[in-house]
Structure 1
Amino acid sequence: MAKANTTGMIQAAKEHLLSGLPTTRLEALILFGVSNLPEVVYELRQAGWVIKSRTIPYATAMVRVNKYAVFAATRQSTNTRD
């Protein structure tokens, strides 16, 4: 599943899930660098873990992400004469 350089990020996502904390695809990507959360969940289920799924509003996920991450746009010049 994972390349050697992503194993730690996937392990962090698994530990987060197994601690009982919810994780959305957005959170997995931003906080753990895991782009395919369903594959992580699939592996945990195959190993015998019970993982419950539920839908949460996008705004709720953003509030949770904003507790740990700050995003800022950078201004990029489109003028080629700079």
Structure 2
Amino acid sequence: MNRSYQPAMALREHMLAGHRVSLLEAILLFGVQGPNAEFTRMKKDGFLIKSQKVPMAKIIRRINEYTECKVPSDLPYREISLTEYWISK
């Protein structure tokens, strides 16, 4: 049986495994075109999605575990905040 890649399912499984995800990671690593819409679907399916602001540097470090992501040298990415999301148990 040929199973095609499903970005939303990959994102959901990653989060169910206990990983936190930002919008940037959802798009870059999983190919989810509408991460907020997917989080809404997950909430409708009964999952409790929590969030918090974190430095962009943390997100870049996490992305670099899977691929190479370089930020422009003049971008103050340690000062920029992004939101990360996770499924609360």
TM-score interval w.r.t. the shorter chain?
0.7 to 0.9
Match of 1:33 in 2: 31
The one-letter amino acid paired with 1:10 is A
TM-score by length of 1: 0.73
| Residue segments in structure 2 that go unaligned for 5+ positions in a row | 71-89
The one-letter amino acid paired with 1:24 is S
Structure with bigger strand share is 2
Match of 1:78 in 2: none
Deviation at 1:17, TM superposition (A): 1.4
Whichever of the two has the greater Rg, that structure is 1
Whose RCO is larger (CA < 8 A, sep 6+)? 2
| Residue segments in structure 1 that go unaligned for 5+ positions in a row | 73-82
Tell me, yes or no, if structure 1 residue 59 matches structure 2 residue 53: no
Structure 1 Cα separation of the partners of residues 48 and 17 of structure 2: 12
Structure 2 Cα separation of the partners of residues 19 and 51 of structure 1: 14
CA RMSD of aligned residues (A): 1.8
Deviation at 1:35, TM superposition (A): 2.5
Structure 1 Cα separation of the partners of residues 69 and 57 of structure 2: 15
Deviations 1:12-35 (A, max 9, x none): 001111222100011111110112
TM-score by length of 2: 0.67
Partner SS state of residue 52, structure 1: strand
Partner SS state of residue 51, structure 1: strand
Question: Aligned residue pairs: how many?
Answer: 67
